[in-house]
Structure 1
Amino acid sequence: MIESRPAIRVTDPADPRIAPYRAIRERDLVRGGKRFIAEGTSVLRVLAGQRRFTIESALILESRLAGVAGILASLPADVPVHVAAPDVMDAIAGFPMHRGVLAVGHRRADADTPPEPETAGNWRTVVALCGLSNHDNMGAIFRNAAALGADAVLMDAQSCDPLYRKAIRVSVGGMLTVPWHRFETADAMVDWLAAAGFTLTGLSPAGASALEDWEPPARAALVLGTEGPGLPGPILDRTRTLRIAMANGFDSLNVATCAALVLHHVRVRRKGASGPRSA
């Protein structure tokens, strides 16, 4: 029992009740489906505590059950919780499941469509991604966005899916809490941002302004490209370019690290501009 709710013991990896968990590494290759896999205790805690995504079920390694009992108890009563021994769990997933905590969530119907303009009315800081293809970077950017107060993450259709299991895990659940939307093209995304009143700031090693000298505008869109090539020229030309000074002749930082530095800069400058709070 999990705080008065039953756990369903699974002894057969072919049990149809746990079909969404079967061979989850291969399922990461499928984009745009209705389901996604959340992995790890921290991600499960975030998933259980939000209402933007629904939870279909959980699958827990028997030795991890007591450690997540409080989280499981907070799930809706109609969400089944399955428990399995290590060999069964590994056979279900298709590889050794050391974390031993999985859940199936349902993606929002509007996640892959641009938001209505009024949705962005209160947004002040947005991260916009062009062709970001690495799941580790995608997850890290969402973690940074959640920790440093970005209001949303936007991306083009060429960027990888934030709901891939690895991206969710790296984000520590950040992509479950930060609003995000996908546009068909980077141009359409930049058009939308400009129309919504955002000042477009593109990160480039050859940026015209240094980060330490940059005063964030009232509404800032941080536009980032993929590792290596960076932002496409036509997109970069539509932004006010920004650079982060490197030491020892180094060229550039990882894209997620760049996002963290700029988001922190925005947060600190805006906090300073607002003045100290009265006691």
Structure 2
Amino acid sequence: MPMLIEIHDPDDRRIERYRDIRERDLVGRAGLFVAEGKVVVEKLVGSSLHRPLSMLVAAKRLDGLRSLLAQLPEDAPVFVAAQQVLDAIAGFAMHRGILAIGRRSDMPDADALLTRLRGDCDVLVLSGIANHDNMGGIFRNAAAFGAAAVLLDADCCDPLYRKAIRVSVGASLLVPTARLDRGEDVLALLKHHSFEPFSLSPAGTTLLANWRPTRSNAMLLGAEGPGLSPDVLRRTPSLRIAMAAGFDSLNVATTSGIVLHHLTAARE
């Protein structure tokens, strides 16, 4: 069991990393991130990609977290505070009563990540996804439907931003991820690794319901509004999801769920 350290003063220097977490999120954390809530922290503790450094918990929740705390590394301290002290540290009411600081693993480049994948599998490629709710939702779907990896272009937001992690229910801590260099030709890279790329677009030429996946598929999703670039759409087969007449737009996270479900159903 890691060391339990009681905190009585919100200004205690030992919990500096937890102070005013909303404001701190806006400027980055120098290789660290915040996990919030029991389910998310459980994913961090069980992750092979990232490492928990410490936890901060409300005293009233301590007994119910004993089994989780026992899984922490011995050198990861657990700070315990009364609820009002915890709220003062975080800068807002922390109803979940549990926070953890994690250290990011070094993100591989996309070529290295794809090289590590084995057998028939599917990956997501995201372009310009700047909304953390959407990013979290996409990662939750990726984990739920067994996507092997997620590739992010240079304009995507951080999947380890606190809100993105929370919306993903910790999935962004589990799904292998790589970021593409700006200007990198992702389609050439995918072809090199024997992935067939398919673009999702409201104007896609083939209905998703009529499409039969290949052995290894790369599903390309763009931001709501601008979507994928004309160059990507020109160079890839495009798929669309059937919708009611007069409506042709879905939330990108919802789209990812429908697409991944289609892939899973086809494999089964």
Per the normalisation by structure 1, the TM-score is 0.91
Unaligned runs of 5+ in 2: none
User: What is the count of residue pairs matched by the alignment?
Assistant: 267
The 5-angstrom pairing of residues 119-138 of structure 1 reads 119-122=116-119, 124-138=121-135
Residue 7 of structure 2 is matched in structure 1 by 10
Residue 110 of structure 2 is matched in structure 1 by 114
Unaligned runs of 5+ in 1: 272-279
Give the drift of 1:5: 5.0
Which one of 251, 254, 258 corresponds to residue 257 of structure 1? 254
Residue 185 of structure 1 is matched in structure 2 by 182
Secondary structure (helix, strand or coil) at the match of 1:250 reads coil
Does the C-alpha gap of structure 1 residues 67 and 258 become closer, same or farther in structure 2, counting only changes over 3 Å? same
Which one of 94, 103, 106 corresponds to residue 97 of structure 1? 94
Residue 39 of structure 1 is matched in structure 2 by 36
Give the drift of 1:122: 3.4
Q: What is the root-mean-square deviation in Å for CA atoms of aligned residues?
A: 1.6
Give the drift of 1:193: 1.4
Alpha-carbon displacement from aligned partner over 1:138-192 (angstroms, at most 9, x marks no partner): 0111100001010000001110001100000111111111100001236433332
1:195 equivalent in alignment to 2:208: no
Secondary structure (helix, strand or coil) at the match of 1:237 reads helix
Which one of 220, 232, 235 corresponds to residue 235 of structure 1? 232
Contact 2:132–2:161 (CA<8 Å) still a contact in 1?
Answer: yes
Q: For 1:41 and 1:76, how far apart are their aligned partners in 2?
A: 17
Q: For 2:9 and 2:204, how far apart are their aligned partners in 1?
A: 57
Q: For 1:238 and 1:63, how far apart are their aligned partners in 2?
A: 57
The 5-angstrom pairing of residues 135-174 of structure 1 reads 135-174=132-171
Secondary structure (helix, strand or coil) at the match of 1:253 reads coil
Does the C-alpha gap of structure 1 residues 32 and 89 become closer, same or farther in structure 2, counting only changes over 3 Å? closer
Secondary structure (helix, strand or coil) at the match of 1:12 reads coil
Per the normalisation by structure 2, the TM-score is 0.95
Residue 62 of structure 2 is matched in structure 1 by 65
Q: For 2:120 and 2:18, how far apart are their aligned partners in 1?
A: 36
